[in-house]
Structure 1
């Protein structure tokens, strides 16, 4: 797809490869927002704000920390690495959050574009022809299915990112286990980590909800098409067009209902659930290690 930079782009009146001007602009904005430089700028801004918030929290709480140390050098290294470790954790969390938010906006935008122009093409001609040849259904009935296929594959990549913040948090919890030394978990340290995990969790839930909204809209459209095909009328009430049989439409409906990829997967199969359980599993494991240490095992 040919992309025209926003600063030099004029108002589009035609289409490229059968796509509407609105669809071309929508894809162009998404490509610009998804560039690595843009993502790093947004992530860096959030890291700066989170670091400032953490610093204010540490000053406000002003609690006494106990750091197990074996000499001044050990303590100096610990204090030197404390801030970089916190900043890198923030960077990982917000980089994943940015990817998830961008994906949520894309899914919502694609659905909004579909609702705005039900018969307009969001996809180029080669894509429509490929799905039309594969399924034997006119392309007018396949655009929602193509949307869902793309959303499923895109969200599959994004949902896997949710593991990384929780892996880091789990390692941090493990490193503070009493098995290694008499560590204490201060509120000023646990607070930012918990907030970051909650933000990442909320974004992942929002992505699932956006994907399910897209599925619900697609199911509504295919059910309407089934009713129209049963009544032998055109879906828009106008001139009858080549339409698939009721059996073909019901097969398409079944595929939409049974789509289990990416954000459409059942909740118990989502990386989100496994990622959330990871810190709890770490806490449980460290507790077992504590009891084993007490028993001299």
Structure 2
């Protein structure tokens, strides 16, 4: 930016006050300083064209820009001609950075917080900063935009009138299945983040605990290799079990429990008795999940009761 744009560049290419302007498709814009507040700014989850003009203004105009990874945010800044310094704010630095940023806010400065991709505070350390700012009576303003869970929900074809974002499941099978058990009766579509090296195991556990619910695995959303797999959980689990190496960011969407009012009554005891004639209670409960869609934990307890009769 030139002095005519209202910003004086330092020799290093960054204005003295840390703020700058931005450029969209060759047209330069100045960025006014926003009112003092903590701005939680959503950034693209892949395609950099998904940024909003308000987000660009805030990122360029705020007194301080804080981000998880300065290299990742640097790609966005370079794309839109924003020349400024950024504070590093990630899981390992958040504890010390919180107080520094809160002090700046209390002094009347504006702080823009961005995550590597998507909406801040969703599965990242910014939650603590936002919570503490609110507790101290400091203004917190959301700048909405891209969100991987919502993008996946749109693409999944599953009901969107009620949904529950559950973040990442535990890494270990026992913890993962226990968490799925606790979510089995949530009356809405379930949304999960998952790591590519765990997706096959997670889908297998989802199929075992939640049964043949409709689901979608959304990989690399908005990016060049965006892929969406749809089908019943057992089918998706079987498909991913054959993939040698899965790559990219993943969101899994799982349909909610069947509406009992819309289905013929299921004689759970009859199903369990038939299964118990051939297998132990734990295995019977696991098989019954596939036939009823009910909670494995509840089915196991009922199987034990029937076994003891």
Larger helix fraction of residues: 1
Q: TM-score, normalised by structure 2?
A: 0.22
Q: TM-score, normalised by structure 1?
A: 0.22
Larger Rg: 1
